[in-house]
Structures are given as structure tokens and as C-alpha cells.
Chains A and B, each alone.
Chain A
Amino acid sequence: MEQGIIKKADAGELIAVLGGKYIVYGPVKDDEGVSLSKVGDGEDITFEYSNFNLSPKGLFFPQSEVIYTYDDSVEAKESLPEERFIVFGIRPCDASALLRLDEVYKKSSPEDPYYIRRRENAVIISMACKKPCQTCFCTSVGEGPAAKAGADVIAFDLDDSLFLEACTKKGEQLLDIWSKLLQEPDSAVLESKQRQAASANGKVYALNSEGITQKLQKKFESPIWKEISQRCLSCGACTFICPTCHCFGINDEPCGSKNRRVRCWDACMFKEFGGEASGHNPRGMIDQRLRQRIMHKFLYTAENFGDVFCVGCGRCINRCPVNIDIREIITEGTQ
């Protein structure tokens, strides 16, 4: 099935019909607002949210995961993820960010077995944006509020109903499971979906990111890094909430006679990130680290994978404790 429509009030049925074969992550209200959480029995998903505080990357590349356990015999027991899950309601920017992570973890040899498993076991249903935030700039980095990249199914919130459209084979298979619950959309529905997408598109903050990659090639020694980094606190908030930042560290955690080898998020903004045991630190200064973050996103990844590693979600703009605004850096970078 390629597309269908369902009353929002009946959306819970979609989960019920899965019969527990998939774990469903979706927008759930909690004390802090709306977060992407496991949708349990009797819990309602909400449609009233702009975006989640944390990006969904953690579902595929967890903040920390035990990649294997071993003891002094060094016979490692790997722990590969098994659960099948549906991610419902992430925004198109975040869905598209997963394609970036794919470049690193799936398409570059060797494959990352942990990431790959989760990607293969997951179906992504993104939710087109009706009302972009002030800090959104997805259209300036090649994405959009109704872009399908990275989604298996894209959903549109059409007031009292939900329109679902398959974008991949996996998505079609999921809609097949739901076919009894879905109605064929009429032309009015399709039209209002188009209208919504166009209107949202127009509301996204547009900035000049033209040629950012080429221009950054000449900006390595630019004074802007020092200027901006004067403010930077060198914390990792921007990288940890970023949907495309994917650097990690591997560490041992002894626990009794066994060891857990854990992989954890790490951030190029941390001073210790590149520090070697010898004391040598190639990026010991804040400006070097800030430059690395920006260059990695807009230059190195573009050179290596053909894509900038920024999807315009605006999280870092909102959450930076000192209001370092990546849009301003892009603008500066394209001067």
C-alpha cells in the first residue's frame, strides 16, 4: 500500500494492530514537554510538539552501549541489538540525518554491526512540519519541512486526520499491515497536504549557504574561529543534541571479574577528545575545536560523502549556553 488516511483519534489502533511485534517510539507527553519515548499500553501519542529536545540518533547510536563483554581470557561476547522497532513522528530533518549516519556507519567499509542491526530493524515514520520553529533552517541545507529523505513513511498532520505516504519498500510493507485501518485519500486530502507542505516551506528561515563547502576550504586560517570561540565554553551540548554528530569513544568498564566494553558518545568540543597519553593534543585550543566541528559538518563530510552533516534542525542554536548560532557561522563562512 502506498498511501492512506486515518482519523487521528484512531491512531492508537495502528499500534494495537502491530501486536507487539514492534516496539513503537513516538511523541509522548511528560513533565518536561514532549519527548520521543517508548509508547506503552494505554499511552497516547501527541501531535502537539515542534521537535524533540534530543534527536532520535540515540535509537540507532545510543549514548552508551555495551558492545561486548569479556574477561581476562579475552573471549569477547558481543551483544548485538535484536529488537524491531518503529520510530513514529520524528521530523523530516532528523529522518534525513539518519542518511548521514548511514554514510559513516553503513556505507563506509567496514560496516558498523551495531548500527546496521538497528537500522535494519527499524521503520521510520517521519511527521511533516506544519509550523517550523524560529531556529529551523532546513531548507538552507537541502532539506525541507515535508522532505521524504530518510523516512520509510512520511505522515502529514491534517487537523483531525493523519495522512500516511510510503517512501520506501519497507514503508509500503508497513502500510500493508495497516491497510485495513487506512482509507484511500481523496483529492481534497492530497491538495490540503500539498498546501500544508508549501506553506511550511515558506515559513522556514532562509539563509545564504550557497557554496559553503567550497568557501570553507579557504577559511581554515580565518580569524572567525577565534572570534566565535571567545564565547564558546567547550561543552558538548551542541554535539550531543545534534542529529548528525557521530563521534564516539570506546572504553572499558570493569564490573566484578568481567569487563564491559562500552561505546559512548564523545565530542570534538571536549578538550580531552584528541589528547594523547603522551600529552600531545592536536586540538588543545577552543578555536581549533570549534573549527573542527564546523569543518567536519560542512567541509570534510561534504568532501568524503557529498553531503553536509547539518540538517537545519536548529537544536544547537536553541541549546547553546552562550548563544553560538550556527546560522551566523554559515553566513560568515560564505562571505
Chain B
Amino acid sequence: MYSMEKIAAEIKESARDLISGKRVDLVIGYEKGSLALRSRPCFVSSVEDAGKLVWNSLCTNNLSVYLPRYVQKGPQKRKEDVKPVRVGIVAKGCDVRSIVGLVKEKQISRENVVIIRVPCRGVIDRAKVETQLKGNEVNEYKEDSSEILHLTTVAGEEKTFSKEQFLADACLECELAEPEDVDIRISGTAKQTFPNRYERVREFEAKSREERWQHFKKEISKCIRCNACRQACPNCFCKSCFAEQGKPRWVGAGTDLSNTMFYHIGRIFHQAGRCVECDACVRACPMGIDLRLFTQKMVKDVAEAFGYIAGLSAEEKPPLCEFGDADGQGLITTL
């Protein structure tokens, strides 16, 4: 039994308590989206508005991306934008890890954030539903307590599927290790760890060099440089991204594929020790680029080579600010 309604009710309750008790000025959660298969970020600052909050398998966004906006004071801030500083945030396991990452990198202060942890059993990848339904759009979505989805198409047909079938790749490989440091725990059981971690990365590593290059090239060729991957990522908090620097100009403006590749290599590299595999980038990409295949390589290397998993502890030093005696075995060119 995993009752979405019960969880939603608890989220609402917590939000109301936090706001009415003046513990926070704002709660960031999810509300019903404008399309059947969408939920979306929702910003609640009054007890009445807390009623809008929902919880379901469509609550995909990693909301921690918004946190730095509320706790940072940039030079561009207008007076009236010095916003409520204390924020309650609805967070899934991976989102909690992102928050820890933000605290670690001093982008937010922990005491200003109230983490409302929801037990997550994975979110749905919209694209998988769309592929399954072959162009029949969904008009209505319902999910019952045994994790069966009831989808009604625009044509009025009702179809049932197991949720498992549409789980996002990130959820299928979810590590579930997560920090203990949360403020409110919504009751319910999160799903179990899946065993096939890094399977796709290993498969890809085993391919020939040419096959890997061709695949990388094919994926990157789809990119339209809209920066959605970067903007959706809580780790991409830099005030000025290398991609936009004009002096020196790291990334050429033209869509010469080498420029786009450079951007992506830079982005992937900067995820080292940061990426929590929430897949915010993957979901945000309007072109359906398989970004996960590449960022996950970074996660795997950092874990295997340096024994580091991002977002578990705000105190642990980031892996690239440290070194070990056994680093880079076989890396050094000798005569």
C-alpha cells in the first residue's frame, strides 16, 4: 500500500503548519499541471494555497534548483525581491541530496531550509508513456494504491499499465542512499534499490571506440543549445557559466558540432562529485538527448576511483578538492 492521497494530505498539512507557525515564508512543492501527464512546481506562501499541493508519480522536477534564488542576495536584486528567506521544500530522495550539495557548496544555508522528505517510489518518464501510446494523447491520469496507472486517452479509451513500466531511467537505477538530515518525514515506504546500477554505462564502455564516438556525436547533434539542461540542474549554480564567458570565449557561439560538444563535455565534467542523478537535465531537454549516459559515467568514475557519492554529507570534502595516494593508477605516462 502506497497511498498518494495520504502523502499529499500530509504534505499539505506540513505546509500549513510551517506557514501558520511562521517557520517558513514559502513552501515549494508540486501542483497539478496543465496537461494530464504533468505536475509542476508550486510556490505556496499562504495556508489557503497549501491546498494546491499534490503528490503523484508526475512530480518530477528537482525543486532544489529554486533554492539559491531565495537565499542569495545578488547585486541585481531589487529591494522588493529580497524574498522570504526561509523556505520549506518538498523533496524526493535525490532532491534531498541536491540540497545537501547546495549546502556543501555554500549556495544556501541549511538553517533557512525546511526539508519535507517524501517517500518516493519513482517518477514516470512522460516520453515512455508517449511512446507506448503511439501518439494517442492522454487526457486523464489516475494512479491507484497498487501502483497501477489508469490513463484515459483523448479518444476516450481507458488503458491500464503498471507504473513500473514507465519509471524514469533515473529511478530504475536509483541508489536510494540518502542523507538523514531532513526536517519532516512524510510517512510511507520508499522503493527499494535497483540492482542494475551503471549497467548502461558498462555496456557503453564495452562498445568499440568508433561506436562510442558515433553515439556521442549523434546525441550531441540533436542539441539546440537552449541551456535547459543547465538551467534545470541544481548543481549548475554558477553566476557566470563557462559557456557564456566572452573573455576567454570557451564555447564558440556557432553550432559547429565541436562547440556543442565542448559545451557538453564541460557540463558533464563539472558534474563530477556533484551529480545526484536526479535526471533534471534529461527531463528538461526538449530534444531528448541521452544526457544520462554521459553524466552517469562521471558519477561512476567518481564513485569507483575516489569512493565518493554526491549529496550524502554536507561536511565531506568535494572529491576534486582532495587527493589520494592511489589516484589515477596507470594515468601517468612513463618512458
Contacts and interface: CB of A to CB of B under 8 A. Distances in A.
A210 to B, nearest CB: 20
B254 A233 contact: no
A249 B224 contact: no
Interface residues of A, number: 43
Interface string A83-112: 000000000000000000000000000000
Contacts of A230: 41, 43, 66
Contact of B226 (A134, A240, A318): A240
A53 B35 CA distance: 17
A9 interface: no
B228 A64 contact: no
B91 to A, nearest CB: 16
B224 A321 contact: no
A325 B33 CA distance: 9
B283 A262 contact: no
A240 B224 contact: yes
A236 B226 contact: yes
Contact of B38 (A237, A284, A323): A323
A146 B137 CA distance: 21
B232 interface: yes
Interface string A201-235: 00000000000000000000000000000110111
A16 interface: no
A9 to B, nearest CB: 22
A321 B43 contact: no
Contacts of A249: 253
Contact of B232 (A281, A318, A321): A321
B230 A235 contact: yes
A158 B286 CA distance: 31
A237 B244 contact: no
A251 B259 CA distance: 13
Contact of A281 (B43, B76, B228, B244): B76
B250 to A, nearest CB: 12
Given A63-B255, A251-B253, A285-B81, A233 B288 contact: no
Contacts of B284: 233, 235, 237, 321
A103 to B, nearest CB: 24
Interface stretch (A37-45, A167-175, A264-272): A264-272
Contacts of A134: 35-36, 137, 139, 154
Q: Among B224, B230, B244, B280, which residue has the most Cβ atoms of chain A within 10 A?
A: B224
A267 B226 contact: yes
B287 interface: yes
Contacts of A319: 286
Contact of B253 (A64, A281, A327): A64
A319 B231 CA distance: 14
B40 interface: yes
Given A54-B287, A134-B137, A325-B34, 15 more contacts: A32-B222, A64-B254, A134-B36, A233-B231, A235-B228, A237-B286, A251-B253, A251-B254, A264-B225, A264-B253, A264-B255, A272-B244, A285-B78, A321-B232, A321-B284
10 contacts: A63-B225, A230-B43, A235-B228, A237-B226, A239-B226, A240-B226, A265-B224, A272-B244, A323-B38, A327-B34
